[in-house]
Amino acid sequence: MSFLTATEAAKILKVTTYTLYELVKRGELPAHHLGRQLRIDPTALERYLYGDSRFDKTSEIVIPSCTTNPITRFIGSHDPVVELLFEFLKHAQMPVESSISFKGSMDGLISLYRREADISGIHLKDNLSQDYNIPYVQHIFPEESVCLVNLIQREQGFIVARDNPRDLHTWSDITKKGVRFINRQKGSGTRLRLDAYLQGEKISPNRILGYGQEETTHSGVACLVANGQADVGVGVKASAERLGLGFIPLFKERYDLVCLGQTVNTPVWQQLICILRSPGFIQAIHQLSGYDTSLTGKILLDS
């Protein structure tokens, strides 16, 4: 069998080589390592491209095979800044390895409750109080010590092809005839936001072509739009711009990190807080589009 190089596979998917490496890193596209080079099975690439066999992308986990460094487990919602944060931790004065799984905000909190995670990342809007995250944390952990710190505030909106050829601007536009939508998975904050809008406007999900098609990351949504498998999905601006796509802003939200009290006094958490407040990390975030760091590193709940 003749395997494809990373460059050849990226050309077929119509994405950058960087994006292809991200797909492999997240487990979305199987690959073989030959030294420092990647080789892609053409059959696996075809399956990914045409959706004949969806790989399990809820287990987006990176675990070091052998290390003496501390290991922290993250389960929660996806954002490129989360990946950036753990990259900073990996190269900190006291390096921290990580097990990262992007499963959505609700699954992240449940995993934290079950002690399957040390840290979770969430962006859940409470429609009653109009506040983010704190009402959910207090409901799930009513008798436990919990700490919540802001990672970023961010824009979410429609990720569309360049120049927005479908002329999509508002939530209701995704019900236009022939518009192919890519949804986020159940339990994700983005999915809950969409479903709340549909319920409020009494719009049946059956009116949305592709409502049942799910993706677990903003990067995955952008990739599907980039290679023409979908016309629109909801995600962050940074993921759209990374692939040269269009972005139509819909709302701003707060993304926070959560841990239990037993984690607060650990060296890993203390170092994480230091990184969040460091000029270098803030500057790195500012290289991405669609983020507000005015609350980054601020403790919002310490019960």
Count CB neighbours of 178 within 10 A.
Answer: 7
| Per-residue pLDDT tens digits of the chain, which is 303 residues long | 467 888 888 887 777 777 777 777 766 777 776 656 778 877 777 777 765 434 444 434 344 444 567 789 999 999 999 999 999 998 888 888 888 888 899 999 999 999 999 999 999 999 889 999 999 999 999 989 999 999 999 999 999 999 999 999 999 999 999 999 999 999 899 999 999 999 988 989 999 999 999 998 898 899 999 989 999 999 999 999 989 999 999 999 999 999 999 999 999 999 999 999 999 999 999 999 999 999 999 999 998
Nearest to 271 by CA among 132, 67, 69: 69
Pairing of strands 146-160, 299-302: antiparallel
At 73 the pLDDT is: 93
In angstroms, rounded to a whole number, what is the distance separating the alpha carbons of residues 78 and 63? 17
In angstroms, rounded to a whole number, what is the distance separating the alpha carbons of residues 126 and 105? 13
Find the helix packing angle between 267-276 and 80-90, rounded to 10°.
120
At 36 the pLDDT is: 60
List 256's β-bridge partners, or say none.
Answer: 122, 150
**What amino acid is encoded at 291 in this protein?**
Y
Query: What is the Cβ-side half-sphere exposure of residue 169, based on CA atoms within 13 angstroms?
Result: 1
- Sequence-distant (6+) residues with CB within 8 A of 28 are 48, 55, 57, 60, 220
At 50 the pLDDT is: 62
